[in-house]
Amino acid sequence: MDLRVGRKYRIGRKIGSGSFGDIYLGTNIISGEEVAIKLENIRAKHPQLEYEAKVYKALCGGVGIPFVRWFGTECDYNAMVIDLLGPSLEDLFSYCNRKFSYKTVLLLADQLLCRIEFIHARSFIHRDIKPDNFLMGIGKKGSQVNVIDFGLAKKYRDPRTYVHIPYRENKNLTGTARYASINTHLGIEQSRRDDLESLGYVLIYFCRGSLPWQGLKAATKRQKYDRILEKKMSIPAEVLAHGLPIEFTQYLNYVRSLRFEDKPDYMYLRRLFRDLFVKEHYVYDYIFDWTVFKYKLHQQQQQQQQQQQQQQKVIQGKNTAAENGKADEKKKVLTHQKVQPTQQQYYQDANKPGAPVKPLLQQTQNQAVAVPDPADMAIPAYRVQRYQVAHPNNQQTQPQTQQQQQQMYYQQQSKPVAAQQVQASGHQGQTVADQSGAQQSQQASVNPAWL
C-alpha cells in the first residue's frame, strides 16, 4: 500500500521513535530525496507534534537544527516531514564498544555547547538532553552534530521582553532520569543551568562508559527516581569525575553553582575544553572514534577477504596437484600394461605349433635386450632325433654333430633379437623389423621348439 503525506512524501520503513511519536523513512516522489517523517496519532492523550513543529520553525536557520519541510494531518495522524539525519551519539557510542576517547568527547563537547547556547539564545530550553537526541549529519555534513526531539522544550523567558519565567517547585520530573539535573529531581522549575548539568553527565558518561546511578532497582518508578536522586546528591563532582582531566570537575562545579535565572558563561565552558584539547596536542580534524573504527573494520574485512582468496588459491593448487598425480599414476598403469611378455611367456607361446617367433623380451628404448646364454639352452638328444625323423630331406643341410645343430639353432633364435636391437637403435628400424618378421615366418617350419 502506497502511503503518502503532503501529497509528495511516500512513507517507508520505521527508523526510530521520539517522545510522542514514531519516525519513518520517507521519499520525495518528485525529486527522489530521502526525508524523515514523524507521525503521531491524533487521538494521543497529550499531542505534542504540532508544538514540536512550531519549535523547529522558531529555531529555523540555526546550525545543527533540522529543517521542517511540511507539517499537517493525514487521516488519523499528525505528520511532520524534516531532514533525514545519521546515527545518534548513543548508537555510535555502542558501535565504539561504549567508550569514547578524550579527543572525541572534546570534539563533541565544543559542538554540543554551541547547539545548547543557540537554543537558549532563541529563548528555549531543551529539557531532555541525552545522547539519543543528538544525531550526526550525513554526506558532506557527516561531522556536524544535530539536535532533535523538541517535544519537551519550553520557553524560559519572554522572547520580546526577556523576562525570565518565575521560580517554582513541586514540579514533576521532565526528561530522562539518568541525565536529569539534581534540581529537576527536587521538583524545581528547569532553566538554562539544568540543560548544561545534563550535558555534563552526558560527557562523563562518554568518558567512563556508564554513570554510578545506572542499574538501580526499585519497586516503582517514583522510588527509582528517589534512589537516583540520592545517589547523585551523595557523589561530589570530584568523585564523579575521578580519573578524568580536572576540566570535567570544573565544569560540573560551575553549572551546579548557577542560580535559577543566571545566564551561563558559555565561552568559559567552551574554553575549558578547548584548552584541554590543545594541552593534549589533539588536532581539530573532525576524525571521531567511529571514523577510525570504521576504517579499521574496513581494513580487517579486506584482510579477511585476501586471506580467503589465498586459501582458495592454495586449495585449488592442491586439487590441481592431486589431479595431476592421479593422471601420472594412470599413465604409469597404462605403460605397465603395454609391456611385452617376459622370457618365460615367450617360451610358453613358442611351444605352440605354428606360433610366430617373438622377441625374448621387449623393453623400452635405451634399455638392453636380454639374450639367453647358449650354455643354458642345450637341446636334448631325443629332440634332435625326432627332428631328423620328421625332416629327412633336410638332413643333408643340417649339421652332423650335436654341437653344430645347437649353434645353428642359436643363430636362428638370435635373429629376432638382432632385429629388435636395430629397432631400438633407430637405424632403419622399420625395414629390419619387417625382414626379421619374414625370416621368423620361414623359420617356424624348421623350429624344433614345438617338438
Q: Which residues are catalytic?
A: 128
d(CA 357, CA 346): 8
CA-wise closest residue to 217 among 204, 226, 209? 226
Cell numbers for 280: 593534549
CA atoms within 13 A on the CB side of 201: 24
Helix (H, G, I), strand (E, B) or coil at 211: coil
Pairing of strands 34-41, 77-83: antiparallel
29 contacts 13 by C-beta, under 8 angstroms? no
d(CA 81, CA 70): 5
Over the Cα atoms of the chain, what is R_g? 51
Rounded to 5 degrees, φ, ψ at 249 are -65, -40
37 contacts 50 by C-beta, under 8 angstroms? no
d(CA 236, CA 233): 7
Residue 38 marked as a ligand binder: yes
Distance from the Cα of residue 202 to its chain's centroid: 32
The answer to whether the Cα torsion of 224, 229, 230, 234 is positive or negative is positive
CA atoms within 13 A on the CB side of 283: 2
List, as residue ranges, the binding site for ATP: 38
List, as residue ranges, the binding site: 38
